[in-house]
Amino acid sequence: MKRNSLICGTINGIANEISCQIEDKGFNVIKISASQLKEDIKSLMNELDSLDMLVYFALEEGNSKQRTIRDGLDYEDLMSTYEENTINFLRIVEYSHELMMKSSLRRICIVTSSNSSINFNSNSCGYGCSMSQAAINNLVQMLMNRYQKENFTFRMMCTKYYAYKEAGIKAARNAVTYFLRNRAYDIHTNERNDENRLALRDIYGREIPW
């Protein structure tokens, strides 16, 4: 029987490419965009037997991403971006929990950007996206604290905009490899396992600080 993977959030180019590659790995892929989330998720949960992997793309940038504090911020837009990136992610985790409990994989993957790193962010604008992604980082840590005892596992991945299709395909391939492997990270001994520690990684596996 095929395993089910739910793809949701901001379904852009990289999200579509990652979806294709997850499908290539033998998963039945179901996509829900952020705008349809509230309507679709409850009915969808009734249709599936189990849910093995949830992949959430928290990549909504909002309509005012170029504004600095001197320009004046669009607070309604910042609220909307937070709702789409952060709150909808929490909603879908809560809604899908029961279905994921019927799977043995129970993997939750979140795609954000390196701008979610408070240590690394060097922008003077982009408040909505960066603040909501930083909030997601803490939210995932809390969800891990809560659900790890139920054998849920978590993967956090940074992507960016890829101008060349080949670069996007390679990034998606690396992302899916990371999503699906067990986190036995030391290639020499295959013994080290940092599954108990939440890490934010880029597509090359490099860890990004919070």
Partner 1 sequence: MDNIAIVTGADRGLGYAITEKLLNREWTVIAGQYLNDWNILNKLSKQYPFKLHIIQMDVSSIESVIAAKNVVALLVDHIDVIISNAAYMGGESNNQQPMEDSYYVNIMRSFTTNSLGGLRLIETFLPMMKTGMKRLCFVSSEVSSISMMKRAYGYGYCISKTALNMGVRILYNDLHKDGFTFRIYHPGWMRSTRKDGSYDSIADFPPGISAESAIPQFIGSRDDEDRLVMLDYMGNEWPY
For partner 1, the binding residues (CB under 8 A) are 68-70, 72-73, 75, 78-79, 82-83, 86-87, 90-91, 94, 116, 118-119, 121-127, 130-139, 141-143, 145-146, 198, 209-210
Reduced to 3 states (helix: H, G, I; strand: E, B; else coil), residue 29 is strand
How near is the Cβ of 56 to partner 1 at its closest, in Å? Answer: 15
Q: Decide whether 176 or 198 has the Cβ nearer to partner 1.
A: 198
Single-letter amino acid code for the residue at 31: K
* DSSP assignment string, 36-56: GHHHHHHHHHHH-S---EEEE
Q: Decide whether 5 or 64 has the Cβ nearer to partner 1.
A: 64
Q: Decide whether 138 or 177 has the Cβ nearer to partner 1.
A: 138
With tokens 């036995």, the residue in question is 184
How near is the Cβ of 155 to partner 1 at its closest, in Å? Answer: 16
Phi, psi of 115 (to 5 degrees): -70, -5
Helix (H) or strand (E) holding 178: helix 165-180
Q: Decide whether 111 or 172 has the Cβ nearer to partner 1.
A: 111
How near is the Cβ of 163 to partner 1 at its closest, in Å? Answer: 24
Pairing of strands 153-158, 107-112: parallel
Measure Cα distances from 111 to 14, 41, 96 in Å: 10, 19, 18
How near is the Cβ of 139 to partner 1 at its closest, in Å? Answer: 5
